[in-house]
Amino acid sequence: MKKIQEYEKDLASIRTMMERSAKFISLSGLSGVMAGIYALAGAVAAYFIAYYPVSPLRYRIYSVQDPPTLLKLIAVALAVLAASLTTGFFLSSRKARRDGSSLWTPASRRLLLSVSIPLLTGGIFVLIMLGTGHYGLAAPACLIFYGLALIHGSANTVDEIRYLGYSEIILGLLATGFPGYGLIFWAIGFGLLHIFYGSIMYRKYEK
């Protein structure tokens, strides 16, 4: 009986080692929650820049055609991105140290490469849309390409990332039918969905 238990323990250890080498499992769920909070804060800032005092539920696509307003919104988005990346790096590094692993592994390099291609493509596409005056497609495109990046990289990390990607794509497709309401969909996709899936990852892998 004791030998069987030892074999099972050895098999579990081997399985864990293989999973760590094949997948990047140091991704912190708490960093997803924080990214969602940053995104919601950014959405509030964007509301005061582009909509206040009018309700953001009203169709106000013309409010983002003003160049100074558009530049302010881009600055808010970049600030949210910078805060999210910094927090994600810090929390994931801490999780990796706690798990006795490294943040920079073959799996993490594959993950970075997998997500970078859709993200760069999406970023260029969004800039083209903004440059040609198709402002209503910016938020849907961000959600769709972000979802594609997550799905493309999900083979190298935890399963929840793939489901988050599916959710982002579905939300982005819905947003294309409601141009002018991008702020609402942006807040849901980058805010609430990050908090939801980040909480699941935190409870499942870190508690």
pLDDT in tens, 19-63: 454 565 667 888 999 999 999 999 999 989 888 777 766 655 555
Alpha helices in 23-66 (DSSP H): 29-50
Of 169, 166, 171, 167, nearest in space to 184 by CA: 171
pTM above 0.85, yes or no: no
Q: Is residue 1 part of a domain?
A: no
Q: Is residue 19 part of a domain?
A: no
> What range does the domain containing 143 cover?
26-205
Q: Is residue 189 part of a domain?
A: yes
Q: Is residue 12 part of a domain?
A: no
Residue 7 has pLDDT above 80, yes or no: no
What confidence tier does 18 reach under pLDDT thresholds 50, 70, 90? very low
Q: How far apart are CA 74 and CA 114, in angstroms?
A: 25
At 54, which amino acid appears? Answer: V
Place of tokens 């990289």: 153
Q: Is residue 18 part of a domain?
A: no
Q: What are the pLDDT digits (tens) for 128-175?
A: 988 888 888 889 999 999 999 999 988 888 888 999 999 999 999 999
